[in-house]
Amino acid sequence: MERVRFSGYPAPFTSLNADETPSQYGLSGSFSIKADKNFDETFGANGRIVDLKGSWELSNNQLQLKYDTGDDETYELDTSREPAKLISTAISAVDTLRNPQTNVVQAVPFKYQFVYSKQ
């Protein structure tokens, strides 16, 4: 995992819309995509590491991962840069932040994505 991409933060929190290093959030991850249409993934969060396996399909620059656990994920393959990037579907979340203008703590919606680089 190369970065975590944050987006969708409304004003006055727009400065949080940025790419950040995964280690800042205790995250790490990597994929090994195999020619036989299988993959291995290692994902780490706050010191815990999980190894996952599954199969994959690529169509129209969309990489569909089907995990042996029954879950699935879709990544966009961005080949416009070197090295190519895999970008996860945006995940909606809410954070509790103090508004710098009003000093009121409020729920703030945002989205995040995981970005991987081809090794």
Each residue's pLDDT tens digit in the chain (119 positions)? 999 999 999 999 999 999 999 999 999 999 899 999 999 999 999 889 999 999 999 999 999 999 999 999 999 999 998 899 999 999 999 999 999 999 999 999 999 999 999 77
Q: Which CATH class is domain 3-117?
A: mainly beta
Burial 66-105 (b: 16+ CB within 10 A, else e): eeeeeeeeebeeeeeeeeebbbbeeeeeeeebeeeeeeee
Domain ranges of the chain: 3-117
